[in-house]
Structure 1
């Protein structure tokens, strides 16, 4: 299977420095922020499309613009790029969610992918009117997806669960194609929902051994349910012509961080209910020392950012090698980002993707859709008489 690469749309703003936020952490910028205007996000989206990224993840939460509305507008300035829209199922009804997805597919030409996020931190959820605890949110997410899947199959749905109830629900028009469901999480409750519903299970960028354990865990749970999901990983990236240039960029980003800001963010993240977030914190433990936790895997982003906190750092060849290593564990999809997102898309797209293409591991989506060219005779070759 050819590898699939997605980029990221920073709907909270961008910078030449690390931009923090997520998991209830107030957005922090070390300097030089670029506002998340449609014009700038459109630049990133068009560049990602040109370079060969399949889609672009757009985050959800109080720290960023709404993903559904932002990407619907950006669909007008792109042609092929898909949008991996993150959303929280507890904030809308499953019938409305299923209908929104169907509408999105019709108007975008089938370019919607869905990243189901059961919820952020409880204090942020309460701000949106959601007062369930973490385990209950996963139970509700399971019920939500049961209803949505049934509606997408064209069924008329009557459902009475612990958290979700609908009567006579149905769609007049079905999504075509049905959007793939991306789902992540490291807790036992997350594993059960992922195994039951995820088309792609997403993990944050942990060292290969830990990723291998997660892949094995979800695969075993899914097989027991007769399912075979794909697997993806969420990483930042700093790729340059030489390793020295890449690590110099990582040091520049690190040197710009204010120790007081690191302490404040880490203090907030330490209270996170997320098992995945706690695993991210264990990789660096709030220290700016020894941040290369595995060859070419750097935990510096997680000092000021909740959620995905690691980056692949190195020469284009080294980054490609790490991608191959993760692929060997079963990872087929890579959701990447970098600071700033416009420039880093080009560093990766023009530096790493050609290496993977030469190795037969990736092909530009636009070229993959093109029919094979007809044979053209060499100039001067005699042709048979008609």
Structure 2
């Protein structure tokens, strides 16, 4: 299995050396910094950069789109929490971005381990229920990415009729899926759906 070197991109300078710059505010997005930081990763030979997710952070798809416009080869691993965008819409949004980045995106599924952060976005499901929802979510996303005909789906969390997308990912058979988690449900769902399973707390 090939080794990938994956960095981390933020939207403003933030580290233990300049922690004062890590708070929220009007200056949370520094476009010049994102552009140069992405270029530095590309010139440094990184395969991808992770764009993180939290209930208060900038939108990862938009950050990836901007950073991709400043680079030519660098890939973008976009953290995504199932449950806040309909899976059919998520499939179309990511497939569209896959084309505009010339197949340079991958999706890092993070179901969510912090009840507090989940609740900030209005999600009150418990830990194991979130993983059951993620399982359904990824089944639908992958079918939207790959199905040549409309399909119906009825599960515990999602019910759709005649789902279909004219836009399919540029990457085949679909956009790579990475998965984070270490609990029993995380390992089970991640092994079922992902290209790469990252065991984290």
Q: TM-score, normalised by structure 2?
A: 0.89
Q: Which aligned pairs between 1:80-91 and structure 2 lie closer than 5 A?
A: 80-91=73-84
Q: Quickly say closer, same or farther: Cα 1:13–1:32, change in 2 above 3 A.
A: closer
Structure index of larger Rg: 1
Worse-matched range after superposition: 149-158 or 174-183: 149-158
Q: Quickly say closer, same or farther: Cα 1:43–1:159, change in 2 above 3 A.
A: same
- The counterpart of 1:195, out of the listed 188, 191, 194, is 191
Q: TM-score, normalised by structure 1?
A: 0.48
Q: Quickly say closer, same or farther: Cα 1:47–1:12, change in 2 above 3 A.
A: closer
Residue matched to 2:36? 43
SS in 2 for 1:183: strand
Residue matched to 1:300? none
| Alignment partners' CA distance in 2, 1:15 and 1:196 | 35
- The counterpart of 2:46, out of the listed 53, 75, 80, is 53
Q: Quickly say closer, same or farther: Cα 1:133–1:53, change in 2 above 3 A.
A: same
Question: How many residues are paired up?
Answer: 194
| Alignment partners' CA distance in 2, 1:61 and 1:111 | 22
Worse-matched range after superposition: 163-172 or 118-127: 118-127
Q: How far did 1:129 drift? A: 1.8
Residue matched to 2:11? 11
**1:170 equivalenced with 2:164 (yes/no):** yes
Please tell me whether the aligned partners of residues 158 and 169 of structure 1 are also in contact (alpha carbons under 8 angstroms): yes
Structure 1, unaligned runs of 5 or more: 19-28, 205-275, 277-386
Please tell me whether the aligned partners of residues 12 and 34 of structure 2 are also in contact (alpha carbons under 8 angstroms): no
Residue matched to 2:138? 145
Residue matched to 1:182? 178
Residue matched to 1:96? 89
Please tell me whether the aligned partners of residues 13 and 36 of structure 1 are also in contact (alpha carbons under 8 angstroms): no
Structure 2, unaligned runs of 5 or more: none
**1:68 equivalenced with 2:68 (yes/no):** no
Greater relative contact order (Cα < 8 A, sep 6+):
1
Q: How far did 1:78 drift? A: 0.9
Please tell me whether the aligned partners of residues 14 and 36 of structure 1 are also in contact (alpha carbons under 8 angstroms): no
| Alignment partners' CA distance in 1, 2:35 and 2:113 | 27
Please tell me whether the aligned partners of residues 59 and 67 of structure 1 are also in contact (alpha carbons under 8 angstroms): yes
SS in 1 for 2:169: coil
SS in 1 for 2:199: strand
Q: How far did 1:181 drift? A: 0.3
**1:123 equivalenced with 2:116 (yes/no):** yes
| Alignment partners' CA distance in 2, 1:189 and 1:166 | 24
Q: How far did 1:164 drift? A: 1.3
Q: How far did 1:75 drift? A: 1.3
Q: How far did 1:203 drift? A: 2.5
Moved over 6 A (4+): none
CA RMSD of aligned residues (A): 1.9
| Alignment partners' CA distance in 1, 2:16 and 2:179 | 30
